Amino acid sequence: MSTGRDPQLQALFASAEQEFDASAFRSDVMARIDAQRRRTVILWSLLSLFAIAALVTLASPVFEAFRIANQVLPVSLVDIETDWLRQAVSPVNSVAAGIALCAVALHRFYLRIFR
Amino acid sequence: MQRTTDFLAKSQETVLVGLSRRGDRAAFAELVNRRQAWIRNLMRRCSGNSVLADDLAQQVFMQAWRSIVQLQDAARFAPWLKRMAINTWLQYARKGDPLRNVEDRQGFELAHHETPGIAMDLDRALGTLAEDVRLCVVLSYYEQMTHNEIAGFTGVPLGTVKSHIRRGTKRLREELAAYIETQEVKS
């Protein structure tokens, strides 16, 4: 527990301690806390309004996009007439599987070129 | 209302901290009342500027209000507040505000009008030290912290803390020679 303090300087520090007007300072702090709380409430209100507006505006296009994706992604890439074969290759025989395979191939290509 | 104020004024600090954690503004105002002189003096010794010191002290209490819910042990309020005050000062000091030196000088002049005698001269002497040296000296002499504690609080290596305090002490003794000689004569 080292301190290495000079006793005379320590006495000077002790005698330099000041008394302040506590009530004005306390009022300022509480006023700033209230102002900050008001700002936070206003900010959250604006963000909520913005989120609701965005939801209302974008709801229709987003649902439409989901509907189209739902129709397009399961479509088979190749028509297979044999029942058991169609079932067997169905995980890779769709637009969704094609997109996924393309993404994997592009990723590997990227890794091979840039690493 | 008066009864509440009286109750709070007589309450222990741990009770006030507990109430503040539940969002009691009056209890927190009483905490500010009790701890303001300590934090304002600490900030004044660090910054040498009475206006800046009060602003930073207010920021410390605002931050304390925001994060008091996270304080697990109410009995640790004082060290928790001190850490917050030191961090607030370090953040301000590291910001590198180009006008800070100008403000400091104005602050020192303002302090001359407000605080007579030894506090003014001590702040002026502290103002001659580099910021990191001044912080180590203030924490050592004003906060009575050990070298290890200062190193832990500020993140400055222990050896550097020791040399800062040694160098700062030497400089302060030179700057405040008149006061020190008077003390020697008295003793």
pLDDT digits (tens, 9 = 90+) for A64-105: 999 999 999 988 888 888 888 888 888 888 999 999 999 999
Domain end call among B86, B115, B144: B115
pLDDT tens sequence across B62-117: 999 999 999 989 999 999 999 999 999 999 988 865 445 544 444 444 444 455 58
- Kindly state the helix (H) or strand (E) to which residue B74 belongs, with its residue range: none
On whether any CB of chain B is under 8 Å from the CB of A60, the answer is: no
Looking at the whole model, is its pTM more than 0.80? Answer: no
Does B111 fall in a domain?
yes
A 10 A CB-CB count for A1 gives 6
Q: What is the CATH number of the domain that holds B43?
A: 1.10.1740.10
Among B56, B35, B171, residue whose Cα is nearest residue B103: B56
Among B171, B179, B183, B66, residue whose Cα is nearest residue B119: B179
Tell me the residue type at B157: P
Domain end call among B115, B146, B170: B115
Q: What is the largest CA-CA distance in chain B?
A: 54
Please enumerate in sequence order all residues whose Cβ is within 8 A of that of B135, keeping only pairs 6 or more positions apart, or say none.
B46, B86, B89, B90, B93, B154
In chain B, what residues touch A9 (CB-CB under 8 Å)? 141, 169, 172-173, 176, 180
Find the closest chain B residue to A36 by CA distance: B62
In chain B, what residues touch A32 (CB-CB under 8 Å)? 58, 62
Q: Give me the domain span that covers residue B147.
A: 128-187
Does B45 fall in a domain?
yes
CA A18 to chain B, closest CA, distance in angstroms equals 7
pLDDT tens sequence across B121-157: 899 999 999 988 999 999 999 999 999 999 998 889 9
ipTM of the complex: 0.78
In chain A, what residues touch B25 (CB-CB under 8 Å)? 30, 33
Domain end call among B60, B81, B115: B115
Say if residue B55 is exposed, middle or buried (CB neighbours under 10 Å; 0-12, 13-18, 19+).
middle
